[in-house]
Amino acid sequence: MSDTTELTRSAPSDVARNETGQSARRMTITPAVDIFEDSQGVTLWADLPGVTKDQLDVRVHDSNLTIEAEAIVPTRDNLRLQHAEVREPHFARTFMLSPDFDTGKIEASLQDGVLKLTIPRREEARPRRIEVKAG
């Protein structure tokens, strides 16, 4: 996977509250992805460290595939946090899908902070061999 994850400051209205009720600016992270394509479709791998299944939202609307997730970075009760650059990261990324893909058959799995999406091509969009008849 690529190590070029991009950090972007979110809009000023995107403010989270910490345990003491103080406001803290949230960071939105664009997760690094690897995309592999073959004649059957595409496989997308997205790095989402610290994300669990219940904090992950993958959806398709029109031709847009959106990945959003929240990660919780646990801290021990007996320790006081001295410095955190990204306390509770918010991941977000959107992809535009070609009509060649069957969005109704997308499969998703999450393991060890890596999301795998398998997006198959529609049957009519897959390459096929044409039989040639002689005579």
Quote the tokens at residue 93: 């990324």
Of the pLDDT bands very low, low, confident and very high (cuts 50, 70, 90), residue 78 is confident
Indicate whether 11 pLDDT > 80.
Answer: no
Q: Read off the pTM.
A: 0.72
Distance in angstroms (rounded) separating the CA atoms of residues 55 and 52: 5
Q: What percent of the chain has pLDDT over 90?
A: 49
Q: Is 10 part of a structural domain of the chain?
A: yes
**Do 7 and 86 contact (CB within 8 A), yes or no?**
yes
Taking alpha carbons only, the member of 104, 93, 88 closest to residue 46 is 93
Provide the CATH number for the domain around residue 73: 2.60.40.790
Average pLDDT, the chain: 81
Which tops the pLDDT comparison, 2 or 38?
A: 38
Q: Is 129 part of a structural domain of the chain?
A: no
pLDDT at residue 118 in the model: 96
Distance in angstroms (rounded) separating the CA atoms of residues 88 and 74: 9
- Domain encompassing residue 59: 6-123
Domain count for the chain, please give it. 1
Residue 92, beta-bridge partner list: 68
Q: Is 131 part of a structural domain of the chain?
A: no
Please give the average per-residue pLDDT across 81-100, as a whole number: 86
Q: Is 130 part of a structural domain of the chain?
A: no
26-77 pLDDT tens trace = 678 999 999 999 989 999 999 999 899 999 999 999 989 999 999 877 777 8
Q: Is 90 part of a structural domain of the chain?
A: yes
Indicate whether 3 pLDDT > 90.
Answer: no
Q: Is 41 part of a structural domain of the chain?
A: yes
pLDDT at residue 19 in the model: 53
Compute CA 110 distance to the chain's CA centroid, rounded to the nearest angstrom.
10
Indicate whether 9 pLDDT > 50.
Answer: no
Q: Is 128 part of a structural domain of the chain?
A: no
**Do 73 and 88 contact (CB within 8 A), yes or no?**
yes
Q: Is 43 part of a structural domain of the chain?
A: yes
Residue 128 CB coordination number (10 Å): 9
